[in-house]
Amino acid sequence: MRIPIKGTVVPNDYKDFYSFWGIETTCPGDIEFALSEAKSDDEVVFEINSGGGEIFSGAEIYSKIRGYAGNKRIEIVGLAGSAASVIACAARSSITPTGMMMIHNVQSGCEGDWQAFAHESEVLRECSRAIAAAYREKTGMTEEELLSLMDKEEWMTAERATALGLVDEILPAANGLYNSVATILTPEQIKEARSALSGKAVEQEKLNLLKLRR
CA distance linking residue 17 with residue 111, whole number of Å: 24
Domain of residue 35 covers 2-178
pLDDT in tens, 185-198: 677 877 787 777 77
Strand pairing of 154-157 and 100-103? antiparallel
Give the pLDDT of residue 211.
Answer: 57
Count of domains forming the chain: 1
Under-70 pLDDT residues of the chain = 173-185, 200-214
In a domain, residue 191? The reply is: no
pLDDT at residue number 107? 87
Examine residue 54 and state whether it is found in any structural domain, yes or no: yes
Judge whether 185 lies within some domain.
no
Long-range contacts of 138-141 (CB under 8 A, 24+ apart): 138/89, 138/165, 138/166, 139/164, 139/165, 139/166, 140/165, 141/165
Residue 183 placed within a domain: no
User: Tell me, what's the pLDDT at 188?
Assistant: 80
What CATH number did the domain enclosing 35 receive? 3.90.226.10
Three-state secondary structure call for residue 171? coil
Give the pLDDT score at 178: 44
98 within a domain of the structure (yes/no):
yes
- Answer whether residue 41 is part of any domain: yes
Report how far residue 113's alpha carbon sits from residue 193's, in angstroms, rounded to the nearest whole number.
39
Per-residue pLDDT tens for 2-45? Answer: 999 999 999 999 999 999 988 999 999 999 999 999 998 899 99
Residue 174 lies inside a defined structural domain of this protein: yes
